[in-house]
Amino acid sequence: MSFVKKLFREYKSSLKPLPIESIPDLFLFRPIAFILVKLLYYSPVTPNQVSVSAIIFGISSGLCFSKGTPGSFALAGTFYGVAHILDCADGMLARIKKNGTPTGRIVDGLVDYINGIAIFTGLGIGLSKVSVNLPAPIWLVILLAAVSITIQCILVDYYSGQFLIHARGERKSISKEIADFTDELEKLRRQNCCYFQRLLIRFYLGYSAIQNKYSRKQRKYNPQRYYQMNKYLLRLWSMIGPSANILILVISSFLFKPQIFLIYAIFIANGWIVLISLIQRVVNKKIEIV
């Protein structure tokens, strides 16, 4: 096997299932992350340490946004791009080394929440220091953008999860997730160690219990038909996913045009939700097994 083919196979093995990978991740962020993963492969660095590094860069990005100058915005965009590359790299490193842990999945999820809070807080502070033409008070616009992106990311994650369940049979039910993490918590408790991990698992179990209580009964679909009908829809959903949001924020930061990102987040992406949701409903109704 040639070196290039071997490298490509390793890259492919480090990815999530291709249909749920977004275009910006697949062709920009993850190739860069893969180079980092190759450099870290023989080192003692763990996926969790990479996740913590992503949080550090995310918070640094928020601090730079808060300065409100063209140079600080460009630096903030750079830091945020690096934070996302690191966020991609932690999971890729875990998949290649096969050393992922249940707690690592929780830490990986925390990266997005912590960095999101840092970014929008810094962006709000930074924009309050400069003259920006906005149709509403700055903090109201920031709040609308933050809520919009949160909803968009939840929807993209939901339909990615539905694809794994109905087309590939890969994702566990919430009840099974709760059982697995309860077992992990009990194991750590018996070992009387890993207090921080135990705390994270307790929070995750509380969150999962709420999800499980209010989750609706899963509909049934033919796996082959679901795959064929939804693999392209997932690409459309990914256009408003986390990596798309990050890419647009990075570009608008370098241009010192935060309005581009805010318009996209509040108007364009939300309009996209309405359109794709209608298509999704028609497609799912067509292939549902009654």
- For the stretch 50-62, pLDDT in tens is 999 999 999 999 9
Per-residue pLDDT tens over the stretch 192-201: 877 777 887 8
Instruction: Return the CATH fold of 3-287.
Output: Four Helix Bundle (Hemerythrin (Met), subunit A) (1.20.120)
Q: What is the pLDDT of residue 172?
A: 61
Helix and strand numbers (H, E) in the chain are: 13, 0
What does the buried/exposed string (b/e) look like for 75-109 if buried means 16 or more CB atoms within 10 Å of the residue's CB? Answer: bbbbbbbbbbbbbbbbbbbbbbbeebebbbbbbbe
Q: What is the pLDDT confidence band of residue 154, given thresholds at 50, 70 and 90?
A: confident
At a CB cut-off of 8 Å and minimum separation 6, what does 135 contact? 141
At a CB cut-off of 8 Å and minimum separation 6, what does 48 contact? 90, 101, 103, 104, 107
- Between CA 115 and CA 41 the distance in angstroms is 25
Structure-block tokens of residue 28: 């920009």
Q: What is the pLDDT confidence band of residue 206, given thresholds at 50, 70 and 90?
A: confident
pLDDT of 112 > 80? The answer is yes
- Average pLDDT of the residues in 66-75: 97
More confident residue, 63 or 169: 63
* Percentage of the residues of the chain whose pLDDT score is greater than 70: 93
- Between CA 134 and CA 150 the distance in angstroms is 21
Q: What is the pLDDT of residue 1?
A: 55
Which residue in the block uniquely carries the two structure tokens 């992106």? 149
- Between CA 82 and CA 115 the distance in angstroms is 12
pLDDT of 189 > 80? The answer is yes
The 8 Å CB, 24+ separation contacts for 226-230 are 226/163, 226/166, 226/167, 226/287, 227/19, 227/163, 227/167, 227/168, 229/283, 229/286, 229/287, 230/19, 230/159, 230/162, 230/163, 230/166, 230/167, 230/283
Q: Are 32 and 74 in contact (CB under 8 A)?
A: no
pLDDT of 38 > 90? The answer is yes
Per-residue pLDDT tens over the stretch 223-252: 899 999 999 999 999 999 999 999 999 999
User: Domain-by-domain residue ranges, the chain?
Assistant: 3-287
* Percentage of the residues of the chain whose pLDDT score is greater than 90: 58
Q: What is the pLDDT confidence band of residue 277, given thresholds at 50, 70 and 90?
A: very high
Q: What is the pLDDT of residue 216?
A: 54
Q: Is 222 helix (H, G, I), strand (E, B) or coil?
A: coil
Per-residue pLDDT tens over the stretch 166-181: 888 776 666 777 787 8
